[in-house]
């Protein structure tokens, strides 16, 4: 059996070195990667469904148009990783060490990022609908044309973040930190309504 075929079909990988490799259109379902090194690897249009990347190393790794659905990264290290238009639905990075990410769009709906420091990242055209961002540090982040509808943001820090142009309906504004945060009119109305106010418009007494 060739190494290439083994890597595609085997459900478990222990301590393997995948660094600097180029993967294209590989598919894994329920695979367990334990202590593997993906440093400087390029993963292009690969699919990972329900996979675990326990204690794996991702340094300079590029995920390009990959699908990582319902995957977990317990005790993994992600440094300077690029997620380029990836589908991350239902995955969890909450137990990983994450720093210096480069996100480029993608679908992050229902992903769990609880407690991570994601400060100063720039997100464009990304979906975080239903995502768990509780206690995240999002200070200085830019969310441009993103959807955070229904995202959990309890105790998240959005100090000096720029939210303009993003959807924020269903967000629990009173329980997150906003200081010098840039918002648009629609978001201002949502925040006011969440605190019991009602926007009536100029010259409208609200009756």
Residue 201 has a pLDDT of 64
What is the model's pTM? 0.88
Pick the closest to residue 86 from 99, 105, 73, 72 (CA basis).
Answer: 105
The per-residue pLDDT for range 30-76, each reduced to its tens digit, is 999 999 999 999 999 999 999 999 999 999 999 999 999 999 999 99
Six-digit token string for 2: 């060739």
What structural domains and CATH numbers belong to the chain? 10-194 (2.160.20)
pLDDT grade for 199, boundaries at 50, 70 and 90: low
pLDDT grade for 99, boundaries at 50, 70 and 90: very high
Residues 5 and 25 sit within 8 Å (Cβ to Cβ): no
């Amino acid at each position: 059996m060739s190494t290439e075929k083994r890597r595609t079909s085997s459900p478990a990988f222990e301590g393997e070195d995948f660094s600097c490799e180029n993967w294209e259109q590989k598919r894994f379902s329920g695979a367990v990667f334990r202590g593997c090194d993906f440093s400087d690897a390029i993963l292009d249009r690969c699919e990972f469904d329900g996979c675990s990347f326990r204690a794996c190393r991702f340094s300079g790794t590029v995920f390009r148009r990959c699908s990582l659905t319902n995957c977990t990264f317990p005790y993994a290290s992600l440094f300077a990783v690029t997620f380029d238009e990836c589908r991350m639905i239902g995955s969890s990075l909450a137990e990983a060490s994450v720093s210096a990410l480069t996100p480029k769009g993608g679908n992050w709906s229902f992903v769990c990022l609880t407690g991570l420091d994601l400060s100063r990242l720039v997100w464009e055209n990304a979906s975080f609908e239903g995502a768990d961002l509780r206690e995240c540090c999002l200070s200085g982040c830019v969310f441009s044309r993103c959807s955070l509808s229904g995202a959990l943001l309890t105790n998240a820090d959005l100090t000096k973040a720029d939210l303009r142009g993003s959807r924020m309906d269903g967000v629990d504004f009173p329980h997150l930190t906003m200081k010098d945060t840039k918002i648009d009119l629609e978001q201002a109305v949502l925040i006011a309504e969440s605190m019991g106010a009602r926007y009536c418009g100029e010259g409208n007494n609200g009756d």
